[in-house]
A and B are shown apart, each in its own frame.
Chain A
Amino acid sequence: MNKGQKRDWVKIILDNFIWLILTVLFTYFAVNVPNFTSKTNLLNILLHASVLGVLTIGQAIVLMTGNFDLSAEGMVSLSTILAMWLMIEPGSVVGTAQGSGLMLNPYLVIFIILILGTLSGYIIGVLITRLNMNGFIVTLAAQLVLRGVAMIVSNGQIMTGSPKAFNWLGGAKIYGIPVSVIVTLLLFVGVNYMLNQSKFGRELRAVGANPDAAQASGFNPKRTITLAYTIGGFLAAFAGWMLLGRLETAVSSLGSGMTLETVAASVIGGVSLKGGIGSVGGAFAGVLLLSLIDNALNLMSVDSFWVESVRGFIILLALLIEAQKFRYKPKVVHEKEPAVASDCK
C-alpha cells in the first residue's frame, strides 16, 4: 500500500458520522425508553420516515445541484386535496366533504396527480433556470400558491373516504410490513444506485459544485437543474399519494412544516447546502435520525414546547458538523481525488 492510498481516518469518520450518531442514539433509546424496541413502535418509526423519506429524496437531489426546493410540501397538500376532490362524492351536507362528483377511477387519479406534480416541478425549474429567478423565493412562492389552490379547492374543509384501490400504497401491508415502507426503502436504494452509477448523477454533482465548470466541460446545467426540480415535483406528488393512502383523509394543511424537516434530514445526512456533495443514502440516515428522535421524545412524553427547541438544536448541530467538514483539509492529497471541488462558490 503506497502513501497515496493511505486512508484518512478523520475524513472517513466525518463522512459516516451520521450512522455513528444513529447507532448510539438507537442504543440509548432502546435501553432507556420503554416500549421503544417493540415491533409496532419500530414499524411506526419507519412509517413516519416513509413519507418524509420520499420528500427528502427529492430535496436531496435538488440540494445537490446547489438549489433549494421549498415547494414540495405545497405539492403534497395540493395532490392529496385534488385526488380527494376528484374521487369522492359531492357533499350533501354543508360544511362536510365537498367532492367534485366526477368520481374518477382511482388509478386515473393517481396518474393525474403524478403528472401534475411532475409538471409543476418542471415549471418551477423553468422559472428558475430560464428566467433567472431566485430559486429560494420562487419555490417559497410556489409553496404558497400550491397550498392556496388546495385551500380554494377544498374550501378549507376536511375530506375523508378515499377508495381502497387508492389507499394500497399508503395503507396496505405485505407480511405485516407496510407497503409504503418497502417502497420507500426500494426508492432509496434505487435512486442511490442510480445517482452513483449514471451520468445524470455525475452531472448533478458537477453542476452543484461549479456550474460554470460543468458548462465548460459539456454539461448543460440549466437542463440538469430543471430535471432535478421535475423529479422533486414528481416525488412530492408521490409522497402525497402515500400520505393520503395512510390517513384516508385530506386537509389543506397536510404536510406543513415538512420542508424544513427534509432540508434538515438532507443536511444531517451529509448533503451540502452549497451543492455538489452528498448522497441520497446519507439523507436516508438523516430521515431515520429525525424520525427516531421525534418518536422517542413522544414516547418519553416530553413537553411539546421543548420538542421545537430540541429540533432546532439538532439542526444547528448537524450544520456545525457540516461546516467543520468543509474546513477540514486532508493532509494526504489523494492521487485519485473524486472530481468534486469542495471550496467552490
Chain B
Amino acid sequence: MKKNTSKLLDVIFENLIWLLVAAGLIIFSSLSSSFRSPNNLASLLYRSAALGLLVLGQSFTMITGNFDLSSESGLGLTAMVAALALASADNGGLGWEVSPFVAIVLMIGVGLLIGLINGLLITRLKMNNLIVTIAMQMILRGLVYIISPGSTASFFPKAFDWLGGGTLFKIPLERGFFSFPVATLFVILIFVVSHIITRYTQFGRNMYAVGSNLTAAKDAGIDTDKIVRIVYLIDGLCMALAGLLAAGRLDSATPRTGAGLTFPVQAAAVIGGISMAGGRGNMIGALGGLMLWSILDNGLSIMKVSPFWIETSRGLILLFAVWLDAVKVKKVHQRSLIDILLQSTIGLKDKTIVKN
C-alpha cells in the first residue's frame, strides 16, 4: 500500500508541470474574461512560438550540461539578415528583394555559423560556455545594430510570413473565429521530433551521457566534444527558425528583435524540468515549461497586475523551479543509495530504510 502511494506521488511529481499548466489555464480563464477570448489565446500561441524554439535550443545545450545565452541575439541577427535581404530599399532593406526561399537558406546559414562558432570556441579552445555565450550575445547584438539601417525593415513577401504569421484553419465560435496559427503547429511538431531524437536515438542517449557524467562518457568512448559541437549546431538552427517565426509574425525586424528573451528562455527550460546540472529533463517537459511561462506572463499582464509585481513574481517562480529541481536531485540520490544498499550483501534489508 505504502509503495503504491509513493508511486502515485512520483507520477504527480513527474507531471507536476502539466498540472500547473492546467491550473494556470483554469484560474486565469475563470478570473478574466479577456484571457479566455479567442483573440488573446491566439496571440498567446503566436507569442510563445518563437520563444519555444529558443527554449528547445536551450534544452539541447542544457541536457549536455552547457548553456547558451546568445540565442536571443542570434534570433535578432537572423531576423535582421533576412529582413535586409527581403525588404525593398524604401522599406529599410538593401533592395535585393531576394526570393523567400533564398532568405530562409541565408538565415539558416547564419544560424548554423553562430552555432559552429559557439561550439568550436567551447570545445576546441576550452572556454567557459556560459561566458562565451554571454560575450557572443553582446557581439551579435552589436552586429545587428551595425548592419541594420538603424530602424525597422519591414514588408516581406507573403510566402515568407506564412510560417510565422499565417493561420491554418478557422474554428467558428459564437463571436468571430479562433484562427489556429501555423507557427504553433510547427513548434509542436519540432518539439515532438526533438523528443524522439533525444529519447530514441544513439545521439540522444549520448547527449544525456555527456550531460550527466562527462568523464564517464569519455571513458565509454563517446566523442564528447563532437556531441557538444552538434548540439550547438542544432541550437544555431533553432535560433534561425525562431528568427524566421519572429520576423514572419511581425512582418518586420528591428534591431531590438528578441532582446531580453534569454531570461524567459532559461526560466521556461528550468521550470520544464531540464536540469541545470545537465543530463536530466526531456523536451516534452520543456514544452510544458514554455506553456506555463507564457500563460503566467499573458495572464498576469492581461489582469493588469503592475509590471513591477510581475517582475518580482517571475523571480519567485524561478526560485521555486530551482528548488524543485534540487529536491528531485536529492530524491534520485537517496533512491539510488537505497537501491545499492538493498542489493548489497551487507544485509541491510531493514524495512526502515525503504520509508524514505
Contact = CB atoms under 8 A, between A and B. Distances in A.
Interface string B303-337: 00011110111111011011101100110000000
B308 A138 contact: no
Nearest to A147: B311
Interface stretch (B26-34, B127-135, B279-287): B127-135
Given A152-B309, A313-B135, A327 B126 contact: yes
Contacts of B314: 144, 148
A155 B311 CA distance: 13
Interface string B1-31: 0000000000000000000000000000000
A194 interface: no
A239 interface: no
A131 B329 CA distance: 11
Contact of B319 (A138, A264, A274): A138
B139 to A, nearest CB: 4
Nearest to B277: A134
Contact of B131 (A143, A308, A315, A327): A315
B142 interface: yes
Contact of A134 (B141, B146, B307, B326): B326
Nearest to A315: B135
B330 A132 contact: yes
A273 B323 CA distance: 24
A82 to B, nearest CB: 14
B328 to A, nearest CB: 10
Contacts of A308: 138-139, 141-142, 145
A144 B128 contact: no
Interface stretch (A2-10, A173-181, A316-324): A316-324
B322 A273 contact: no
B143 interface: yes
Contacts of B146: 305-306, 309
Contacts of A280: none
B319 A141 contact: yes
A274 B127 CA distance: 11
Contacts of B137: 312
Interface in A315-342: 315-316, 319-320, 322-324, 326-327
Query: By CB atoms of chain A within 10 A, which of B139, B142, B266, B270 has the most?
Result: B142
B19 to A, nearest CB: 22
Interface string B115-154: 0000001000111101110111111011101100000000
A136 interface: yes
B308 A319 contact: no
A140 B263 contact: yes
Nearest to A317: B135
A322 B143 CA distance: 25
A144 B312 contact: yes
Contact of A323 (B127, B315, B325, B326): B127
Contact of A137 (B128, B266, B307): B266
A305 B125 CA distance: 28
Contact of B318 (A141, A149, A305, A327): A141
Contacts of B276: 134, 136-137
Contacts of B142: 305-310, 312
A319 B138 contact: no
A51 to B, nearest CB: 21
Contacts of A127: 319, 323
Contact of A312 (B135, B308, B322): B135
B322 A148 contact: no
A151 B263 CA distance: 18
A155 B145 CA distance: 32
Interface string A244-285: 000000000000000010011001000001100000000000
A142 interface: yes
A307 B143 CA distance: 11
A264 B308 CA distance: 29
Interface string A102-139: 00000000000000000000000001000111101110
Interface string B292-308: 00000000000000111
Interface string B173-216: 00000000000000000000000000000000000000000000
A320 B139 contact: no
Nearest to B308: A151
Given A141-B322, A312-B137, A148 B127 contact: no
Contact of B139 (A136, A151, A263, A316): A316
Nearest to A267: B131
Contacts of B125: 320, 323-324
Contacts of B136: 312, 316
A25 interface: no
B311 A140 contact: no
A219 to B, nearest CB: 22
Contacts of A134: 276-277, 322, 325-326
Contacts of B145: 305, 308
B273 to A, nearest CB: 13
Contacts of A313: 135, 139
Contact of B315 (A145, A155, A310): A145
B319 A145 contact: yes
26 contacts: A131-B326, A132-B326, A132-B330, A134-B325, A137-B276, A137-B318, A138-B319, A140-B263, A140-B266, A141-B315, A148-B309, A151-B308, A152-B306, A152-B312, A305-B146, A306-B142, A308-B142, A309-B139, A312-B139, A315-B131, A316-B127, A316-B135, A319-B127, A319-B128, A322-B127, A324-B125
Given A152-B309, A263-B134, 12 more contacts: A132-B326, A132-B329, A133-B322, A140-B263, A149-B312, A273-B128, A308-B138, A308-B141, A309-B139, A310-B142, A312-B136, A326-B126
7 nearest A-B residue pairs (beta carbon): A309-B142, A148-B312, A144-B315, A312-B138, A305-B145, A151-B308, A145-B315
